[in-house]
Amino acid sequence: MTTTPLPPAGADRDAALLAASEAGAPAARADLEALVRVPSVSADPARAGDVARSAEAVADLLRACGVPEVGVHTAAGGAPAVVARRPAPAGRPTVLLYAHHDVQPTGDARDWTSEPFTPTERDGRLFGRGTADDKAGVVAHAHALRTLLPLWGEDGGVGVTVFVEGEEEVGSPTFGAFLAEHGEDLAADVIVVADSANWRVGVPAITTTLRGLVDCEVRVDVLSHAVHSGVNGGPVLDALTCLARLLATLHDEAGDVAVAGLVTGTAAAGVEVAEDVFRADAGVLDGVRLAGTGSLADRLWARPALSVLGVDAPAVAAASNTLLPSASAKLSLRLAPGQDPAAAAAALRRHLLEHAPFGARVTVTDGEAGRPFRADTGSPAHEVARRAFARAFGVGTGDVVEAGMGGSIPFVADLAERYPGAAILVTGVEDPDSRAHGADESLHLADFARVCAGEVLLLDGLAQLPAGGAGAVERAGASPA
């Protein structure tokens, strides 16, 4: 590890930092593989031990990176989170680095080309559950600190708090309790949330908006018990048919969400999503027409989206000639920035109850709710981030895309509310082909190295800003919703 003093801020310093980052890239890759081998599926109670092991592995990694104070904490019986601190040298800002170490379930392991928890490289990508979402975010933070702490020395650099959550993928249920207990420890001038996506491979992005979401389960009952479908079929529609008719009311003819009363916005001008690019990235089959109205950016980032995630009904192989008495579906409604989740859940419930086909009994059970987020991108910290990622990706500062994202990171709105003076930078490691949550999730390895380098330059650049002055100066454009 080099001990040569860093040149003062400028091109030489950036070059020295990029070289140091590159030297640490193999270690970052190895750290990532080790974390991916731990199946930290937060939604699966049987994996609670693995989630705990994952938290310990993250804590060990941060200790090995030289972060002085490292602890594992749980609040209100939630999943273990790692909090690590390096106090700020006098007069320097404090930066909170966020990522999550839990992952989504794998789904059917047969849909994967290689084992989900065995990191495997193919064509410049590392495959495995959590490679992109979000263990690469965890490692980017660790890598930046391992690179910078020895170069900074005792008095240099910024104060850092690393917060690596273990329950993001289940909607951060105990985050409120965690903030109540440890809120003081997380206070910062700048918050870096490394859990979003870049624009394309080789093109960095800073996320400007995130959608919120509400889930619910809808159940339809039509008969007190199953009966012969020939003897009774005709005058009574089975529960699955009724459920299908109910679900069909959720979108209008154009494919826009038909639930009344939801917030619908427009995406910020300047960034468009090309239809052919979107179709290719999402894998939309030839001949399938895109749904909804408005630009693609509007539809993806600034409007609600409603999907059916699952249905409880007999599998085809187990089906018999009976009229089904009941059927259920799980619905997921993504929310536009500015939408209150409780109001959206109420609107969806009202729609489902009012559209009950043939008087079928409809029961709605609310699930998760998470707020959307809109960032203020005018802070000095955002300017530092644009320069850092441009330099690390080898593109112009103006080529760093400021884009909305359709995904949700609900606790970001809570952070914005709790620390109104902090600048919130939403960065990330995913690219449009990362397939987070799906089979064959993967991370583009060259982009990973660029993100790691970008974070090194970002943290070092933030050290040049004064404490208290790194956060958003103008808060007028920011809102937690």
Q: Which residues are known catalytic residues? A: 102, 168
Nearer to ligand BES, 161 or 408 (CB): 408
Closer residue to ligand BES in complex, CB, 85/303: 303
> Which residues make beta-bridge pairs with 15?
none
Using the rule CB under 6 A, is 167 a contact of ligand BES?
A: no
* Residue 474 token pair: 């103008």
Computed over its alpha carbons, how large is the radius of gyration of the chain?
24
From the list 77-85, 125-133, 260-268, 379-387, the region that binds Mn ion by CB under 5 A is 125-133
Chain positions 169 to 228 lying near Mn ion, rule: CB under 5 A, are 195
CB of residue 131 to ligand BES, shortest distance in Å: 12
Of 39, 58, 31, nearest in space to 118 by CA = 39
- Binding-residue total with ligand BES (CB under 6 A): 19
Residues 370-389 that bind ligand BES (CB under 6 A): 370
407 touches ligand BES (CB under 6 A): yes
For 212, the token pair is 């919120």
Q: Which stretch binds ligand BES (CB under 6 A): 4-12, 165-173, 181-189, 349-357?
A: 165-173
Residue 55 interaction partner, one of Mn ion, ligand BES, none, beta carbon < 5-8 Å per kind:
none
Q: Which stretch binds Mn ion (CB under 5 A): 129-137, 225-233, 244-252, 370-378?
A: 129-137
Binds 215, which of Mn ion, ligand BES, none (CB < 5 to 8 A, cut-off by type)? none
Task: Provide the minimum distance between the beta carbon of 81 and Mn ion in the complex, in angstroms, as a whole number.
Answer: 14
Contact 431, 198 (CB under 8 A): yes
171 counts as binding ligand BES under rule CB under 6 A = yes
- For residue 168, state whether it binds ligand BES (rule: CB under 6 A): yes
Q: Can you say whether residue 180 is alpha, beta or left, with left for phi > 0 and alpha for psi between -120 and 50 degrees?
A: alpha
| Residue nearer to ligand BES on the CB measure, 168 or 414 | 168
Least distance CB 172 / ligand BES (angstroms): 7
The listed partner (Mn ion, ligand BES, none) that binds 194, CB under 5 to 8 Å by sort, is none
Cis (ω within 30 of 0) for the bond into 256?
A: no
Q: How many Cβ atoms from other residues are within 10 Å of residue 372's Cβ? A: 31
CA atoms within 13 A on the CB side of 294: 20
- Tokens found for residue 26: 């193999």
Least distance from Mn ion to the Cβ atom of residue 168, Å: 6
Please pick, from the candidates 197, 206, 218, 400, the single residue that binds ligand BES as defined by CB under 6 A: 197
Of Mn ion, ligand BES, none, which one does residue 60 interact with (CB within 5 to 8 Å by kind)? none
- Binding window for ligand BES (CB under 6 A); candidates: 185-193, 272-280, 373-381, 400-408: 400-408
Residue of minimal Cβ distance to Mn ion = 134
User: Measured from the CB of residue 256, what is the shortest distance to Mn ion in angstroms?
Assistant: 28
Q: Which CB sits closer to ligand BES, 128 or 407?
A: 407
Candidate residues 134, 167, 414, 440; the one interacting with Mn ion per rule CB under 5 A:
134
CB of 370 to ligand BES, least distance (A): 5
Stretch that binds ligand BES, among 66-74, 121-129, 195-203, 284-292 (CB under 6 A): 195-203
| Candidate list 50, 102, 133, 460; residue touching Mn ion; CB under 5 A | 133
Site for ligand BES, rule CB under 6 A: 133-134, 168-169, 171, 195-197, 210, 213, 368, 370, 405, 407-410, 430, 436
